[in-house]
Amino acid sequence: MSLLSLVMAATAASAPAPAADAATLAAIEATCLDYIDGQLEADPARVARALHPDLAKRAVVGDTPDERLGLRRMSKDELVSLTQQGALKTPKEQWNRSCRILDVTAETAAVRLETPWFVDHFHMGRFGDRWIIVNALWHPKSR
């Protein structure tokens, strides 16, 4: 392979993804807000529609007596149940959350959600016209 071919291949591999259109960005943000606002409102149906049935929600806990490289795991059903119980129910005037879209491709997106209580990093997938959260890695903030 020539030097020019190597440079062109490296440039193509590192080129930024094409910008998503406004409708796609709005749909991704709406999913993020369904996830967090649904929890803050204690609206389990709103949270459920933002989540893939096979959601993998995890938090790093590190080594424990029972597990090396431990993860706290949560399913869609567990998160919806916690929402129904009102675990994060918060008066609207106290809401402070932001969704930042980090990257978008034709069928995937990476999104960062921040609240006063935690940070979530989402992998979303596009299924038809819907964007839903497939994976979430979260970190609790110190209070």
Q: Cα 84–54–49 angle (5° rounding)?
A: 45
Q: Give the distance between the most distant pair of CA atoms in the chain.
A: 62
Q: Has residue 72 got a pLDDT over 90?
A: no
Q: Has residue 133 got a pLDDT over 70?
A: yes
Predicted structure pTM score: 0.83
Q: Quote the mean pLDDT of the chain.
A: 88
pLDDT at 56: 96
Q: Average pLDDT, stretch 46-67?
A: 91
pLDDT at 19: 75
pLDDT at 106: 94
Q: Average pLDDT, stretch 104-113?
A: 97
Q: Average pLDDT, stretch 65-88?
A: 91
